[in-house]
Amino acid sequence: MNDFYQRKDVSKDTIEFTITIPKDSFNQSYEAMMKDKVKDTDIKGFRKGKVPTKMVETQLSQSVRLETLEKIAPLYISTAIQKEALDPIAPLTIVVTVMPEFKLANLKKIKVEKEEATISKKEIDEAIDDIKKNYKTKEKEINDAWAVEVAKMIELPEVKDMKELRKQIEDAMKAQKEHMLLHKRQEKALDEAIKLCEIEIPKSAIMYEARERERSFRYDMEQKGVKAEEFMKSQNLTIEKMRELWENDSKEALQTDTFLKMYMKEHNIDMNEEELAERIGALKKNAPKGTDMSVYDDENWQAYVKNVDLKQRAFEEFIKEVLGEMHKD
């Protein structure tokens, strides 16, 4: 465990630690404790130990989370104290930072104007000039014969002259722009929803995610044999600027995650065991050769897949609700 805490000397005899428990570590302990609770839970209509986990979790989620925290927090606190070589002389006071409760706002208030995708004559001319520069053709002049020749190269069907080539280029450019504009509208709708719900993420959570991004960045650079500082210098970036970017990105990611979870809960978006098994089966079927298949049986990995799929489903339902359309990649 490294870099999981921050130290602040409040006074000469009082030190404050901000400790962030890794999500994976917390979830692993939480799930193990919840399994124990399931074994010991009696609910009418079910044999002891056979109660569906989902039913128990609905009733015990909050208490089990607190028990999990009480179980693993001392380990992180003790490690921080040891790393700082401190000798406490009074009982520790623990203050826990938790995610505030947010309510889903009236999403009908979201208004995002639709921008029409139009392609100008100049844009088509520039596209044709680019094709001329990038493709070697027998026909040297831009004419009907050149249009037929180059259309085969760029796989545009049934082009017989320049007019048809220009029309197909315009249609392709328009479809691309429509896709881009829809993405922008979706991002705008999501931003508006987060603002309406007044989702403010605790600073400690944002900083933890930002540190994880920095750690991942440095690891990737190390794997490529590149020094992080040299790479940033080549891109005219400072570590201060990078940390600002990581912090902003972390805030947006956490806000989005929080909103989608609220939307899932409000609209009862879930995945049963049969659906999850079907999803895992599809992933197994399409796995690249040489893949370690045991990963597909790992419960933590399956939970990750389920979480990703549910958030994607929530996002799609949200977009359909507020925009009435969803892009198809």
Phi/psi at 139 (nearest 5 deg)?
-75, 120
pLDDT at 226: 92
Q: Which of 16, 209, 6 is nearest to 95 (CA)?
A: 16
Residue 307 has pLDDT above 80, yes or no: yes
3-state secondary structure 171-211: HHHHHHHHHHHHHHHHHHHHHHHHHHCCCCCCHHHHHHHHH
Please count the residues of the chain. 329
Tally of CB atoms within 10 A around 285: 7
Q: 199: which 2 tokens?
A: 């989702």
Q: Percentages helix, strand, coil for the chain, rounded to the nearest 5?
A: 65, 5, 35
Pick the most confident of 56-60, 189-193, 199-203: 189-193
- pLDDT band per the 50, 70, 90 thresholds, residue 8: confident
How far is C-alpha 318 from the geometric centre of its chain's CA atoms? 16
Give the Å distances, CA to CA, from 23 to 135, 155, 217: 52, 48, 19
**The pLDDT of residue 329:** 46
If we measure between CA atoms, which residue out of 135, 128, 116 comes closest to residue 170?
128
User: Which among 148, 142, 149, 172 has a CA at the least distance from the CA of 161?
Assistant: 148
Residues 171, 229: Cα–Cα separation, whole Å:
45
What does the pLDDT read at residue 204?
80
Could you give the CA distance from residue 314 to residue 199 in angstroms, rounded to a whole number?
Answer: 17
What pLDDT was estimated at residue 24?
82
- Mean pLDDT, the chain, as a whole number? 86
Q: Which residue has the tokens 């130290």?
A: 7
Residue 325's pLDDT is 66
Q: What does the alpha-carbon distance between residue 189 and residue 183 come to, in Å, rounded to a whole number?
A: 10
Mean pLDDT of 42-59: 54
Quote the percentage of the chain above a pLDDT of 70.
Answer: 89
CA distance 134 to 254: 43
pTM here is 0.69
Q: Name the helix (H) or strand (E) containing 53.
A: helix 53-83
The gap between the terminal CA atoms of the chain, to the nearest Å, is 40
pLDDT-derived band at 43, boundaries 50, 70, 90: low
pLDDT of residue 74: 84
Interatomic CA distance for residues 310 and 153, integer angstroms: 42
Contact of 88 with 30, CB cutoff 8 Å: no
Q: What's residue 41's pLDDT? A: 59
Give me the helices (H) in the chain, please: 23-39, 53-83, 121-134, 144-153, 162-196, 203-223, 228-234, 239-266, 273-285, 299-323
Reduced to 3 states (helix: H, G, I; strand: E, B; else coil), residue 94 is coil
pLDDT tens-place string over residues 124-167: 999 999 999 999 999 889 999 999 999 999 888 789 999 999 99
Angle in degrees, CA 262, 327, 269, rounded to 5: 25
Cα-only R_g, the chain: 27
DSSP structure class, residue 286: T
How confident is the model over 177-188, as pLDDT tens digits? 999 999 999 999
